[in-house]
Structure 1
Amino acid sequence: MPQNSVRQVKKVLWLILAANLLVAVTKIFIGNSIQSTSMTADGYHSLTDGVSNVVGLIGIAFAAKPVDSDHPYGHKKFEFLTGLFIGGMLLVITTNIILEAIAKILEPVTPQFGADTIAALVATLVINVIVSVYEYRQGQRLNSYILIADSLHTRSDIYVSLGVLLTLLGIKLGAPPLLDPIASIIVAGFIAHAALEIIKSTSDILVDRAAVDLVLIESVTMTFSQVKDVHGIRSRGSESALFIDMHIEIDPLMSIEEAHELVHQIEEKLKEEINPTIQALIHTEPYKGLPGITK
């Protein structure tokens, strides 16, 4: 990742960290004041958003390191390791929310609050929405997986806050306190879903799952008349760093210089048609379908 992009990603993470800490402190303070277990838990959940920001800052610092002899493909996967950590942290949060919900089902507690509490919760909810949308868009613009993954983490916080808000309003209108833990369990389901999405997407990249449709790679490569056949196509990586390798069969009478130029043209075409970050390793072979060439 270019140093300019790294600086921009870090700047976004620092801004999001400040916003998450503000939201977390507000929720924890209000939750303790009104004796609302769900709001206090929501505050600690927001605090984990800040923790993930710190993890993201550490991860991007490693991911931005230049290529060296020990890491010839760069350090990009460190960023996805942090994304995997965020997904695991969400699963831990899900477990804690469910355990707290069970405790509240066994011993229901009725929170005491007023309109100011509702207003504060709505304000934190609005901040979370703005933070999530802003971080996701910046992640797409900067091709930063860590920002996109962290925005999904923040989005899960929105679900939690919305669930707490609806719960408090319901209790205010006369609903039984049991509504609180039930809503918490439903919210935990949303958080678990976000966690599994992050874990799956990061795992796919870490285990080098195919990153580009093989048919698309083949179709782009075969637009060159000099290419008689293509096989052994493989791809891996992410939108910000794609790697493709394949074998192409060409006229055995083509010179080394001509074959070299063809390979460069194919790579540039792949960048133009699929993704500008592509690095292609193309192995040339003599086409075995020509007369006089034994298979």
Structure 2
Amino acid sequence: MSETPVKVIQKATWVGSIANVGLAVLKITVGKLTGSQALVADGVHSFSDLVTDTAILIGSRYWTAPADKGHPYGHGRFETLTNIFIGVLLAFVGLGIGWDSISSLGHDSTTKPGMLAFVAALTSILVKEVLYRWTLIQAKRINSRALHANAWHHRSDALSSLPVAVAVIANLFFPDLHYLDQVAALIVTAMILKAAFEILWPALLELTEAEADNELEDKIQSYAESDPDIREVHAIRSRRTGSTILLDFHLLVDPSMSVDHAHTISENFKSHILKQIDEVVDVIIHIEPYTCAERVINPCCEDKQCD
């Protein structure tokens, strides 16, 4: 039996949490042993990922719950709030790395961590990159934006380990180029902030009731044109709630058609949309007669109806 979305989310998050704890302990321990403050700081960053993991483990129980009397449109906005939390935390992590890098510019590093620190940093990069790719696959599998956001948090941890590895190699081969660590960290900062923006912006648009999908209207019109019983579809509106989309529009049919027949056409059309577009979970259709008063796409002429 296939796993439910909440089970997939929790499994992926628990795997990430265990990896985060292991990597944090490894980096902090090696950092203390080798005198690498950068590696210690990177280990603390790994522990910060546990905060987002906890948010997802708690939040997923709510946003995957079915609609009820208190939340007739479902609980998808809990996922939106979780995405905002992850995006904000990710932005603070990026800004923190950037601030530390700018603050240390011009200061020569007296620490020479050695290859043990490099191995620890490289291990973190590899493990977190694998986690990023695997978590992204799970996110796409169940269409979870929160899990997608957490996947990027894994990648941010991999990127934050990069300056540590660069600093070690730089000390070995270019002992005079002390600024390479800071430059690499600033590049990482830009990448993390970009990821944070890509997580935050869609979530903020969702809270402001922005259109869910720019291409959705074209898809609906295309489906309508292939149905001979549908004369016109207009006033298409969509909004996103978490990883799902709610849709409504007006559907015009022959005015001489019976109510029962028109209802059957709308129900069949609704079923077709739900089958073709996975993200759409509910469709409200307002049936109207194909008359001059209701037509929008193909309006009537001034003096007579133009078919």
For the criterion TM > 0.5, the same-fold answer is yes
Shift of 1:46: 1.6
Per-residue Cα deviation, 1:219-271 (whole angstroms, up to 9, x for no partner): 11232212212110011226842211000111111111111100111112212
Does 2:281 align with 1:278? yes
Shift of 1:280: 1.0
In the aligned structure 2, how far is the partner of 1:12 from the partner of 1:117?
Answer: 28
What SS does structure 1 have at the residue aligned with 2:191? helix
1:83/1:199 contact within 8 Å kept: yes
CA distance 1:203–1:276, change in 2 (3 Å):
closer
Shift of 1:276: 6.5
Equivalent residue runs for 1:31-70 within 5 Å: 31-70=31-70
What SS does structure 2 have at the residue aligned with 1:233? strand
Per-residue Cα deviation, 1:191-237 (whole angstroms, up to 9, x for no partner): 11111111112223333322232122111123221221211001122
Aligned partner of 2:267 in structure 1 is: 264
Shift of 1:134: 1.0
TM-score (norm: length of structure 1): 0.91
In the aligned structure 1, how far is the partner of 2:242 from the partner of 2:219?
Answer: 15
What SS does structure 1 have at the residue aligned with 2:236? strand
Q: Which moved more, 1:114-123 or 1:228-237?
A: 114-123
Q: Which moved more, 1:98-107 or 1:261-270?
A: 98-107
Shift of 1:294: 8.9
Aligned partner of 1:163 in structure 2 is: 163
Aligned partner of 1:94 in structure 2 is: 94
TM-score (norm: length of structure 2): 0.88
What SS does structure 2 have at the residue aligned with 1:280? strand
In the aligned structure 1, how far is the partner of 2:110 from the partner of 2:174?
Answer: 11
Does 2:230 align with 1:227? yes
| Percent of aligned pairs with the same amino acid | 30
Shift of 1:128: 0.7
2:124/2:158 contact within 8 Å kept: no
In the aligned structure 2, how far is the partner of 1:198 from the partner of 1:207?
Answer: 15
CA distance 1:141–1:127, change in 2 (3 Å):
same
Aligned partner of 2:103 in structure 1 is: 103
**Which amino acid is the alignment partner of residue 200 of structure 2?**
I
In the aligned structure 1, how far is the partner of 2:3 from the partner of 2:66?
Answer: 10
Shift of 1:93: 1.1
Aligned residue among 215, 237, 240 for 1:237: 240
Shift of 1:277: 4.1
In the aligned structure 2, how far is the partner of 1:179 from the partner of 1:34?
Answer: 20
1:64/1:75 contact within 8 Å kept: yes
Equivalent residue runs for 1:1-295 within 5 Å: 4-175=4-175, 176-212=177-213, 213=215, 214-237=217-240, 240-275=243-278, 277-289=280-292
CA distance 1:143–1:276, change in 2 (3 Å):
closer
1:240/1:277 contact within 8 Å kept: no
Structure 2: give runs of 5+ residues left out of the alignment. none
Structure 1: give runs of 5+ residues left out of the alignment. none
1:271/1:278 contact within 8 Å kept: yes
2:129/2:158 contact within 8 Å kept: yes
In angstroms, what is the RMSD of aligned CA positions? 2.5
**Dislocated runs of 4+, deviation >6 Å:** none
